Structure formats: C-alpha cells, structure tokens
C-alpha cells in the first residue's frame, strides 16, 4: 500500500506499508536538490539527541544523478496543535524543558565565529533577486528588504556559536508521541548556528508562523496562550544562558523571515511578511 502525502519542501512524500509496518519515503526528482536532500538526511542521522528528543530512524538513502529517496520510520504522533489542545500543563512543561535542553546541547558543542556583515547583506541581495518575479512580493516588502540590508551594513560583524543545528526547528517539524518528541525535516542552513534553532522555534511561539499554514479549526485562545507560555520560557532561559542570544536574536530572526519572501504564495503571507518585517526592523532601530 502506498499513500501520497503533501509536503512543503517540494519533495514527494509517500507512506508505504510493507509487512504491516509503515515507512516514509521522501524523494526528490530535481537534480539540483539531490545533494541538499542527502545533506538533510545525514543531519537527521547524525543528530546529537538529548532526553526525550528523537528522530525517525533512516533505513536507506538512495541516490542517482537526478533523484534521491530517503526511507525512514513512520511515527504515529500528534501535530503541535493537537498536542497543545489535548495536553496538561505538565506535558507542555516537559516538552519545553526537553527542547531547551536539546538546543543547550547544540550551543555547548559549538565554537564562536565572527560572521562578517557581507555574509548577511549578500544573502539579502540573493533574497531580493529571487523575489523579483513573485507577484505576491509588494513594493512595501522590497522597501523593507532594502532597509534590512542597510541595518546589517550599519551593524557590522556578528559573533555567533557555530556548530550544528536542526536548521528548520519549527513546531510543524516536531512530532509529539507520548513523552517523546521526534524532529523531522532537518534543513541545511547558510550558517550552522544553534541560534537559528531558537529563531525557528520563536518564529512559531512568538511570531505564529506555523499557524499561518494550519488550515483546520483550532482553539485560538488556548493555542495562543500556550504558545506565549512556551515563548516566555524560551526567551527567559536563553537570555541568561546564552551570551550570544540577546545580541544576535533580532538580526538572525530578521534574516529568517526575509528568507520566506521568495516563497510567498498568498495575500495572507504577504500581509504577515509586511507586518512581521516592519516589527523586527522597528526592534533594531
């Protein structure tokens, strides 16, 4: 039995049943994406896990010049909305402590690097170029992109812990199964810094990005209240535990949100980007 599942990465995702066991087959048939998918699979295989944090086991990685397929365990689990709606506060606390410990471990395994400002300004220029043919990118967003580039030029170099990171640690890339939390859809990042993982989490807990993508009914008051609760815990912890966090968070988050711009596909996302980028740039003035 084969079930095709829609994904957000551009890859084909199928659930295959064999001998009463389900596996996930994640594939790309784009020769330009093959190496990137293989890199992501290797990040998943080599992830340094901590208590209660798991990854689906990868059984095989098949590669050709024009395609690649990863076969991994299928995990029976809840998504983040169902988890938040159905869990007591003790389970919310357990998840929050577990994901913070995971990032603490990444930071402790990292080393300091000075990232030159041109790394960021070049990335912003690339984002601007890749957005030029997207009709959902408004003149206001292009003005905000230019303002962001100016901010990085004025700020100069940024010191970051560099080592390993998940790369796309949004709540939608975490599966919730009992008291275990499975990380999926690892992503190669243009800077491999644990700050990126904090930024991605807070992209959801503070900036509510994954809710933009969620198309089912949910308890808005409960979800927002719990996300605020988790966000406060993340912010409070890293404000004292990570010396790089306060000095770099707003800048890394700004780049992170800018990276969404070329992929905007709806008016709702356009409005989200306009409002969020305006707010983040306001924090840096």
Query: pLDDT-based confidence at 9, cuts 50/70/90?
Result: low
> 80, 213 in Cβ contact below 8 A?
no
pLDDT at 198 over 70: yes
Alpha helices in 242-266 (DSSP H): 243-258
Q: Is the pTM of this model over 0.85?
A: yes
Q: Would you list the DSSP string of 39-65?
A: HHHHHHHT----TTEE-PPEEEEEE-S
Q: Which residue has the higher pLDDT, 130 or 4?
A: 130
pLDDT digits (tens, 9 = 90+) for 42-74: 999 999 899 999 999 999 999 998 999 999 999
Two tokens at 90?
């003790």
Distance CA 244, CA 238 (A): 9
Segment among 3-7, 84-88, 191-195, 209-213 with least mean pLDDT? 3-7
- Bridge pairing between strands 68-73 and 53-54: unpaired
pLDDT digits (tens, 9 = 90+) for 227-266: 999 999 999 999 999 999 999 999 999 999 999 999 999 9
As a whole number of angstroms, the distance between CA 10 and CA 157 comes to 33
Give, as one character, the DSSP assignment of residue 133. T
- Percent pLDDT > 90 in the chain is 90
Classified as helix, coil or strand, 5 is strand
Average the pLDDT over 135-139 and give the result: 98
Residue 18 predicted with pLDDT over 90? no
pLDDT, position 169: 98
pLDDT on residue 10: 72
Q: Is the pLDDT of residue 2 over 90?
A: no
Tokens representing 239?
């404000």
Mean pLDDT of the chain: 94
Res 4: pLDDT: 45
- The confidence band for 8, taking pLDDT boundaries of 50, 70 and 90, is low
| Sheet strand arrangement including 174-177 | 53-54, 180-183, 174-177
Q: Give Cβ neighbours of residue 182 (< 8 Å, ≥ 6 apart).
A: 54, 55, 56, 75, 77, 174, 175
């Amino acid at each position: 039995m084969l079930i095709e599942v829609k994904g957000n990465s551009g890859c084909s995702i199928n659930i295959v049943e064999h001998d009463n066991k389900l596996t996930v087959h994640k594939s790309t048939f784009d020769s330009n994406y093959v190496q990137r998918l293989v890199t992501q699979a290797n990040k998943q295989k080599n992830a340094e896990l901590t208590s209660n944090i798991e990854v689906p086991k990868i059984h095989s990685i098949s590669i050709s010049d024009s395609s690649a397929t990863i076969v991994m365990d299928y995990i029976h689990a809840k998504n983040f909305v169902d988890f938040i709606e159905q869990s007591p506060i003790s389970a919310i606390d357990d998840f929050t402590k577990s994901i913070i410990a995971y990032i603490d471990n990444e930071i402790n395994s990292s080393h300091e690097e000075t990232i030159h400002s041109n790394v960021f300004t070049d990335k912003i220029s690339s984002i601007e170029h890749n957005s030029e043919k997207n009709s959902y990118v408004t003149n206001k967003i292009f003005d905000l992109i230019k303002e962001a580039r100016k901010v990085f030029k004025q700020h100069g170099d940024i010191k970051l812990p560099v080592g390993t990171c998940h790369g796309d640690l949004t709540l939608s890339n975490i599966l919730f199964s009992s008291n275990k939390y499975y990380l999926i859809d690892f992503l190669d990042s243009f800077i491999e810094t644990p700050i990126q993982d904090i930024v991605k989490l807070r992209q959801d807990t503070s900036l509510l990005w994954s809710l933009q993508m969620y198309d089912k009914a949910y308890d808005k008051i409960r979800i927002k209240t719990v996300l605020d609760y988790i966000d406060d815990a993340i912010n409070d912890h890293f404000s004292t535990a990570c010396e790089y966090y306060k000095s770099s968070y707003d800048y890394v988050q700004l780049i992170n949100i800018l990276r969404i711009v070329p992929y905007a596909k709806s008016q709702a996302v356009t409005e989200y980007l306009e409002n969020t980028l305006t707010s983040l740039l306001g924090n840096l003035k």
